[in-house]
Structure 1
Amino acid sequence: MNEYPSSATPRRIIGLREICEVNGRTLTRLRGTQQWTEHSSALEIPDSSLSSINLSLVLEDQGEGEPRHWFLFVGRENEPGYVYQVKGDAEYMTYEPSEGPVEIASAEICLDIYHIAVVNEEEALSIRKVAESEPPPRAPSQRLVTENCQGWTIRVLSRLVDMRIVASEKYQMAHAMLQPV
């Protein structure tokens, strides 16, 4: 497609999808991806999107002066899915996955969502197992803290790259967004 929206083009967000109009054409893409696709209707979502399972990196605002909270989300577009995260003080974080499917697309909090990969059922299970087995950040004192939820998420993504579930470019993109602890 030759005509892409500029950064100034107004966009609407419906679930995990961005929608905009350019020269009378409706373009959509998954949040966190670069590829725009033309559709005949702003509400038309391709069937393949509904059946595929997406792995996303989600960044959540915490408070002024605080680094953003990061977590992984695995689910089908516009459906509840599973959250894999660590929480708590950076001295002693704990693994706190969602107890069941969570609807994050309609959350009231400020979220940035980056599409990382399309996965199958087996890979989605592998993501859960990797997240469960990755130790949460810990430090003997606040002065010795070296990572938080962002570092943990990067470690999980690194293991998923090794398993060929995540492309190294997506890992590098996430790594470049790390904030100081």
Structure 2
Amino acid sequence: MSEPSASTTPTKSIGFREFCEFNEQTFSRLRGTNKWTKHYLDSKSHEPPPSSSPLEISLVIEDQGEGEPRHWSLFVGHENEAGHVYQVTGDAEFMKYEPSNGPVDISLSPTSFNVYNLAQLTEQQARVVQQLAEQECPPKAQNRQAVVENCQGWTLRVIHNLAEMCIIPIAKYDMASSMLQPV
């Protein structure tokens, strides 16, 4: 089967995928990869088939203001679909747990810096992620000088708990630990 060439075929990005038309067929690939696969569409709706991709948990890292540490959160969803965000927000002296109220399309975030896939999940494991995030205490401090943790530390604690339960590989916890920025 002949595949499209990245240098000569125009592409369209949707979420974390690129799409193109080549020889009257549609192909797709993950952004940043080279392998194209034939993309099959439902002949009635001309929409991609529903969730053929696995449920995943990802570490989402977003830029904040200049000189500020990046914001970290966890995202649970299927590739190229809206999902649930688990995060803490606010000033590092008094952060609060603030999950998304409903499904969120993180690919539309203007502040996204990077997304790291941590693991594939079952529906039951996704519920465990939600429970652990709800139970993990947000960072608090008596004053600015006493701040020792922010959203990154909270997210890392949740990842650690998931690694201890073998939901996320310990290597992914180690990867996230190595990216932790000073508070």
The TM-score bracket by the shorter chain reads 0.7 to 0.9
| CA distance in structure 2 between the partners assigned to 1:129 and 1:14 by the alignment | 30
Q: Deviations over 1:98-142 (max 9, x none)?
A: 011111112222331111111010000000000000000011111
Q: 2 CA distance for matches of 1:95 and 1:131?
A: 8
| Inter-partner Cα distance in structure 1 for 2:180 and 2:59 | 12
Letter in 1 for 2:15: G
Match for residue 68 of structure 1?
Answer: 70
Any conservation in 1 of the 2:60–2:112 contact (CA below 8 Å)?
Answer: no
User: 57, 60, 63: which one pairs with 1:58?
Assistant: 60
* 2:82 aligned partner: 80
Q: Deviation of residue 162 (structure 1)? A: 0.7
Displacement of 1:39 after TM fit? Answer: 2.7
Q: Secondary structure at the match of 2:120?
A: strand
In the alignment, structure 1 residue 39 sits paired with structure 2 residue 36: yes
1:165 and 1:112, CA in 2 relative to 1: closer, same or farther beyond 3 A?
Answer: same
Alignment match, 2:115:
113
**Residue equivalent to 2:148:** 146
* 2:86 is the alignment partner of 1:89: no
Counterpart amino acid of residue 105 in structure 1: S
Q: 1:163-178 maps to which residues of 2 (within 5 A)? A: 163-178=165-180
Task: Answer whether contact 1:92 1:137 (CA < 8 A) is retained.
Answer: yes
TM-score, length-normalised on structure 1? Answer: 0.78
- Root-mean-square deviation (CA, aligned residues, Å) is 2.8
Kindly name which structure, 1 or 2, has the bigger radius of gyration based on alpha carbons.
Answer: 2
Q: Would you say the 8 A contact 1:57–1:115 is kept in 2?
A: yes
